[in-house]
Structure 1
Amino acid sequence: MASGVTTGTATWRALLGSRYLGTSTVLAGGVGLYATNEFITISLLPSAVADIGGQRLYAWVTTVYLVASVVAATTVNPIVTRLGPRWAYLNAMAVFAAGTVACSLAPTMEMLLLGRTVQGLGGGVLAGLGYAVINAALPPELWTKASALVSAMWGVGTVVGPAAGGLFAQYGMWRWAFGALVIATAVMAVLVPFSLPARERGGVVPFRIPIGSLLLLGTAALSVSVAGIPRHAVLTAVLLAAGVALAGLFLLIDRRAKVAVLPPSTFGSGPLKWIYLTLGLLMASTMVDMYVPLFGQRLAHLVPVVAGFLGVVLSVGWTVGELSSASLRSVAVTVRVVAVAPLVMAVGLGVAAVSQVDDASRWSVAVWSAALLVTGVGIGMAWPHLSAWAMGSVRDPGEGAAAAAAINTVQLICGAFGAGLAGVVVNMSDRGDATAARWMFGVFAVLAVVGVLASYRAGRGRVPSIHPLRSG
């Protein structure tokens, strides 16, 4: 098993120095474009609806983007294998830019939804390439820090997106927000030929897409995305259950498929399945963030702008946690940090649950903010190491690219499930007071605790002093 990548031994200066600066910029920038686009659209959508109409389709602006992204994420590995890193990025950026232009020119909500779908197809590939190309374009000792840098772009997107979207919307220029994204994409594309290798492997490789897995994951994502839209509680639960069943069927089919999304090592006796499970549970637990602005306005009577930036606190903690954790050099310390990360998240979510009160004071909001910060630090302290472990925990080194590409697929699908679960909990417990907030944070605190077993097993065997759990 190729498991030599456990912690970064190189410095940040090596990653961001002249040799790899262009590569790092492209890898991080692609994910940054995806994340910024997601949050900038949310912030300017009210202005867009006021201009072109389509209030009844409001929630679908996010839904079609998410579903298209999940579908596109399943194609990342075959795209990189067939086209190579350079052309994979250029093609993904071209599709993303085309969708963004369509959004900027959309005369109706239906056309905006079409543009968002195209954006999702290009953006889903861009987000996946951020991890998949690390394996091909950077040496193993830089994988951990590169993973931290790439995933930190989600934190950047949650800050830049709402701020930029709000600024453009404030001056009635929501279309120009998409125009700015097109310009940023073009600038990034200029760097690609100088920063990435033309081909990962020599020769012509057949272009094979995992159609069965793609359809199952796309339908599962659609089910859970719709489940997250406020509806009748029973219907929401049914949709979420359907999504879970489809995801389980995906695992059964993908395990036997000749063209698969997950590398074969996922289903073996090694730690890769536990690594992906830990990543998925951590990502799902962060989906509480989608309701933070709502509860900030409802319970603390915060103005929309302040409530919106309250939702950024978790992302700030994520970024701080991973940039700090990525600098760890001791394998033993790293394994223990990853093992306790879900517990740190559980503590933060638990404190957030008990701090939800009606007519919350500034002190209550401060406690809530601190709890969200701790929650973000919890996922940040584990994410870069888990990402690097996934790339190295394969039986066949040739599976490394598939293992890296699957990180984004796991992230997107588990994020969709987390959003759906949050919607179910809030819909079932909402009384117009703090009850729904307490239940939501409490349920996700329990989910994070479940992740402790997965995170422990993910690092088992990497250090001789870490003994496996005894069973039965």
Structure 2
Amino acid sequence: MADTSRVSVGTWRDLLGAPHLGASTVLAGGVLLYATNEFLTISLMPSAVADIGGQRFYAWVTTVYLVASVIAATTVHPLLMRLGPRWAYLSGLSVFAAGSLGCAFAPTMELLLVGRTVQGAAGGLLAGLGYAVINTALPSRLWTRASALVSAMWGVGTLVGPSAGGLFAQFGSWRWAFGVLVLLTAAMAVLVPFALPGRNDSADADPPRLRIPLASLLLLGAAALAVSMAGIPHDVRATAALLAAGVAIVVVFVAVDRRAAVGVLPPSAFGPGPLKWIYATLGLLMAATMVDMYVPLFGQRLAGMAPVVAGFFGAVLSVGWTGGEITSASLRRTQTITRTVAVAPLVMAAGLAIGMFSLHEDMSLGWAALWAVGLLVTGTGIGIAWPHLSAWAMSRVDDPAEGPVAAAAINTVQLICGAFGAGLAGVVVNLTDAGNAAAARLLFAVFAALVATGVIASTRSCRRPH
């Protein structure tokens, strides 16, 4: 018999109509600021180092940003409960603007790292709020489309970040890239009071005490730092030790968080239901996208692309991600949705395999076009699954009260798995220390095999809790 059950999904016109346009803009805009800033420095750093020095801290510009983001993302739920959506967003935007201003005027690399740390802390908060406030600011029928809109900003950020950074660097104005971020942040802050609700005035009790899972935070930060550093050493033994340390710390984090009174992950993630598999699928898909970090580099070395062109070429994966999300968010049949989510890791693996076979020394236009097809398929793979997995994470909990925690944990899982993916990518590329076609093919092959194993988690994530 044909499956006739349907999921109640609002329309894009409803989400982007006058009643919800302000909230949608703020939720998506916060994630866009964070994602754009994360990828902005890929194109900016050569110019910045030539201006203020600090070559030995080159990798740390990304490392400190990511670690601060991971730590800050876990404070989303307690801050949201304490301050409410409006003041939580205004606080995050204010700190983000201050960090961006510090980067714009930094006279040395050390002070630039301070600014990047502040940016990362505020950006992690904004990115987490983008998911956590969906079920507060919008009706449930719009959650899937709102999740698609918010998560699509990661794809947009990977497009805007490298290309905008390349343009600013090309004209010798790398500081102005951070200055523009300050202006955009201020514009969004003006919109927040009109778009988001304030505190919950219906409660007659005092606001809840701000409780932050400190032990879990420290463990997550240490794990992200260890994995981010793993690609730096030239000694294979040191690299392996750092990766092993990162994995071991994550195992300890799971054990500690499971027993904590206030944890990063909701209690349902440790139960028999599908929530743990939903997070695992989200994490594997996100980790596999980290191959995109090296697309501009290999585009210049193997295909002879100009830096700006290579930056735009690196956005092909993001185009597939965004297109896949917009298309998949319109699905209504339950059976179609579950099958789409289940095969998503295999779609990504197929795209990465196409990319692996297309990479050669002195690539012709035809091989570059095939590489672009592989990147497009890879992005489509994560895009078709992400909005549904995000919506499931908010709803498939044992206790409805866990919904906000489950929503905030989406961003934490995304950041920590992105850190692992970035570290693994650096390790694979540095194995040959040549940065040639062999290293590029190995990178795509390893990540294709990694994400293919995610079909186990994606299949199990489709199960409904009893």
TM-score (norm 2): 0.96
Q: Within 5 Å, give how 1:284-303 maps onto structure 2.
A: 284-303=287-306
Which runs of 5 or more residues in structure 1 are unaligned? 1-5, 465-472
Q: Please give the per-residue CA displacement for 1:13-65, whole angstroms capped at 9, x wherever unaligned.
A: 01000010000000000001111112222222222222211111111111110
Alignment CA distance shift 1:333-1:244 (3 Å): same
Q: Please give the per-residue CA displacement for 1:286-343, whole angstroms capped at 9, x wherever unaligned.
A: 1111111222222222222222222111111000000110011111110110001111
Aligned partner of residue 448 in structure 2, secondary structure? helix
Match for 2:252 among 243, 249, 253?
249
- 1:150 maps to a residue whose letter is V
Q: Within 5 Å, give how 1:348-427 maps onto structure 2.
A: 348-427=351-430
Other-structure match for 2:169:
169
Query: 1: CA distance between counterparts of 2:379 and 2:8?
Result: 21
Runs of 4+ off more than 3 Å: 429-433
8 Å contact kept, 1:7–1:385: no
Deviation at 1:432, TM superposition (A): 4.7
The reply on whether 1:128 has 2:128 as its aligned counterpart is yes
Other-structure match for 1:89:
89
8 Å contact kept, 2:266–2:402: yes
Query: 2: CA distance between counterparts of 1:15 and 1:90?
Result: 22
Number of residue pairs the alignment of both structures matches: 459
The reply on whether 1:222 has 2:225 as its aligned counterpart is yes
Match for 1:442 among 437, 440, 445?
445
Other-structure match for 1:30:
30
Alignment CA distance shift 1:33-1:79 (3 Å): same
Q: Within 5 Å, give how 1:13-412 maps onto structure 2.
A: 13-200=13-200, 202=203, 203=205, 204-229=207-232, 231-412=234-415
- 2:463 maps to a residue whose letter is R
Moved more, 234-243 or 171-180: 171-180
Q: CA RMSD in A?
A: 1.6
8 Å contact kept, 1:254–1:260: yes
State the identity %.
70
8 Å contact kept, 1:7–1:144: no
Query: 1: CA distance between counterparts of 2:411 and 2:459?
Result: 22
Other-structure match for 1:12:
12
Alignment CA distance shift 1:341-1:8 (3 Å): farther
- 1:331 maps to a residue whose letter is T
- 1:251 maps to a residue whose letter is V
8 Å contact kept, 2:166–2:311: no
Query: 1: CA distance between counterparts of 2:327 and 2:364?
Result: 32
Aligned partner of residue 422 in structure 1, secondary structure? helix
8 Å contact kept, 2:69–2:120: yes
Query: 2: CA distance between counterparts of 1:212 and 1:242?
Result: 17
Deviation at 1:162, TM superposition (A): 2.3
Aligned partner of residue 19 in structure 1, secondary structure? helix
Deviation at 1:437, TM superposition (A): 1.4
Query: 2: CA distance between counterparts of 1:49 and 1:431?
Result: 22
Which runs of 5 or more residues in structure 2 are unaligned? 1-5
Q: Please give the per-residue CA displacement for 1:179-219, whole angstroms capped at 9, x wherever unaligned.
A: 11111101101111111111257341110010000000000
Q: Please give the per-residue CA displacement for 1:87-122, whole angstroms capped at 9, x wherever unaligned.
A: 110111111111111111111111100000000010
8 Å contact kept, 1:358–1:434: yes
Deviation at 1:430, TM superposition (A): 4.5
Query: 2: CA distance between counterparts of 1:213 and 1:411?
Result: 16
Query: 2: CA distance between counterparts of 1:231 and 1:283?
Result: 26
Other-structure match for 2:3:
none
Query: 2: CA distance between counterparts of 1:32 and 1:144?
Result: 18
Query: 2: CA distance between counterparts of 1:12 and 1:178?
Result: 32
- 2:351 maps to a residue whose letter is G
8 Å contact kept, 1:8–1:326: no
8 Å contact kept, 1:102–1:115: yes
8 Å contact kept, 1:8–1:327: no
Other-structure match for 2:454:
451
Moved more, 287-296 or 18-27: 287-296
Moved more, 15-24 or 160-169: 160-169
Alignment CA distance shift 1:33-1:284 (3 Å): same
